[in-house]
Amino acid sequence: MRSPVFLILILSLFTGCQESSFQSLKMTDELFVYEGLPHLVRENPSFEKEKKRNDVTQIDGHWFYDAKIPTHGETHDRLMNLLFDKSVFRIPSLNAPQRDCGPFHPDYAIVWKSDGEENHLMICCTCSEAMLIGEGKTTTYELVVYRNRLKVLSEFQSNRPPKLGSGPL
């Protein structure tokens, strides 16, 4: 049996990692959003077609449309509020069940610079996962957020074809 002190220590380490990962956001006012291509498994025909376009790029092995869209006004504020809300991002439990949506596929990437380097927070709205890539490391999070809070990201959907039978986010 693990001691409660051990569990508290582990939880505090994870909490500290989360806080330090997002510290660079406090030093920037500029946020940008990339829109992800369709899901490479569930929407494969659409993904393969979109991947052939001239206006797509890969970031850390994930496909996005090239347009790096700056955030402004109320949209910017809503995104910053989401990113600074500590209750939104949680390190997944070691016993967490495998997600059923296949390999991680970001619908969006939120980007900001710190110390001349870009940080990428990639978000999958379907499986409620996020991956923070920055400072030479990658950290995976579960999103503990209601879908309506993520709806702010749908304002950046401009290239991706809609899923059959559904609209944006």
pLDDT confidence of residue 111: 93
CA torsion angle for 97, 151, 168, 69 (degrees, to 10)? -110
Residue 6 binned pLDDT confidence (cut-offs 50, 70, 90): very low
d(CA 129, CA 67): 23
Determine contact, residues 169/151, Cβ cutoff 8 Å: yes
pLDDT confidence of residue 65: 96
CB-neighbour burial class of residue 20 (10 A; exposed 0-12, middle 13-18, buried 19+): exposed
pLDDT confidence of residue 81: 86
User: Domains of the chain, with CATH numbers?
Assistant: 4-156 (3.30.1490)
Say which residue, 70 or 126, is predicted with more confidence: 70
CA 110, 121, 106, 164 torsion-angle sign: negative
pLDDT confidence of residue 122: 94
CA separation, residue 143 to residues 90, 104, 149, 160 (Å)? 7, 13, 11, 22
d(CA 54, CA 156): 19
Q: Which residues pair with 64 in a beta bridge?
A: 36, 57
Residue 154 binned pLDDT confidence (cut-offs 50, 70, 90): confident
pLDDT confidence of residue 72: 92
Say which residue, 43 or 146, is predicted with more confidence: 43
Residue 24 binned pLDDT confidence (cut-offs 50, 70, 90): confident
User: By mean pLDDT, which of 2-6, 100-104, 110-114, 138-142 is the weakest?
Assistant: 2-6
Q: Radius of gyration (Cα) for the chain, nearest Å?
A: 17
CB-neighbour burial class of residue 24 (10 A; exposed 0-12, middle 13-18, buried 19+): middle
Q: What is the mean pLDDT of residues 86-99?
A: 79
If DSSP codes are grouped into helix, strand and coil, which group holds residue 45? helix
Average predicted confidence (pLDDT) for the chain? 79
